A and B are shown apart, each in its own frame.
Chain A
């Protein structure tokens, strides 16, 4: 029987950015120990969106690592499911906030008649 309180450890690493500026994010988590474990589902919602779309996981698999592409900042949750179709509740969310890009081509300039 699958534990209903799934605790996931998610590490996001190896960040890359595609030309479309979407974020490729790698998620990893600790494996569950239930013998009838069938796999995991990952859900994502963009910042500002109220609910996850539980009908459309962005990833399904048996591994404990997932590489997903997201269009921006948001939150991930994972769910485990077993052979009988039972599904756990959400894991604690993993926030995805990518820092701004480093400032490039900084240059001093003169401003006439400006006011500080």
Chain B
């Protein structure tokens, strides 16, 4: 319960995707320039038939060979003009991707101007951070990766009252997590793949389960 007492002007307010799959069309294997250059012999002529047969055998051989040639980096060419099967280039190992710590929350139903976040190791002092808001009004914060271990976090939503004072909700219940996060929580790829597997019917069912309060389109008064 929130209580607001007013007496002669004094106010006390306790703080209280659809996923689209792209399939590029197949690349044609018979360039027209080949046909135009190698196919002028009159149809039915003996030599024409012989030449065509030879051409077909040669082309088939070449195509087969091309198919077997694996891409190699640009380099020196051998006496027959074919690329040398030199040593494969080995790509330099990519630098390990830095993982940062962020947070999400259910979009609030009311206006929020900023969030306050408390992060605490299981044994240790809490550290407090001011966090911004994303377009969906969720928490927008990116923190440097903490040392491996167990942590807990809490957040509260705040806004400016009409008199300029800061008005915040209660702290959320503590959320416990382990850093680094378990594999299933590491990236958004997992939920995206999950979404891909969902049928339209399942999607509809899932949407029906959403809490109406979860709509970010509250009054934000």
Residues of A within 8 A of B (CB): 7-15, 19, 21-22, 46-47, 71-75, 92-116
Q: Which residues of A contact B153 (CB under 8 A)?
A: 106, 108
**Alpha-carbon separation in the docked complex, A22 to B221 (Å):** 10
Total interface residues on B, CB under 8 Å, equals 62
Q: Of the candidates A74, A96, A111, which one forms a contact with B4 in the assembled complex, judged by CB atoms under 8 Å apart?
A: A96
Q: How many A-B residue pairs have CB under 8 A?
A: 179
CB-based nearest A residue for B108: A101
Q: Which residues of A contact B109 (CB under 8 A)?
A: 21, 101
**Alpha-carbon separation in the docked complex, A103 to B103 (Å):** 12
Contacting pair A105 B106 (CB below 8 A): yes
Q: Which residues of A contact B111 (CB under 8 A)?
A: 100
**Alpha-carbon separation in the docked complex, A47 to B175 (Å):** 35
Q: Of the candidates B4, B142, B186, which one forms a contact with A114 in the assembled complex, judged by CB atoms under 8 Å apart?
A: B142
CB-based nearest A residue for B161: A97
Secondary structure dominating the interface of A: loop
**Alpha-carbon separation in the docked complex, A75 to B175 (Å):** 37
CB-based nearest A residue for B112: A100
Task: Kindly state whether residue B219 has any CB partner on chain A within 8 Å.
Answer: yes
Contacting pair B185 A110 (CB below 8 A): yes
Q: Which of B26-34, B35-43, B94-102 interfaces with chain A?
A: B94-102
22 contacts between A and B (CB under 8 A): A8-B6, A21-B110, A47-B221, A71-B221, A92-B9, A94-B4, A95-B13, A95-B162, A97-B159, A98-B221, A100-B108, A100-B158, A100-B167, A104-B106, A106-B153, A106-B175, A108-B177, A109-B103, A110-B180, A113-B100, A114-B102, A116-B100
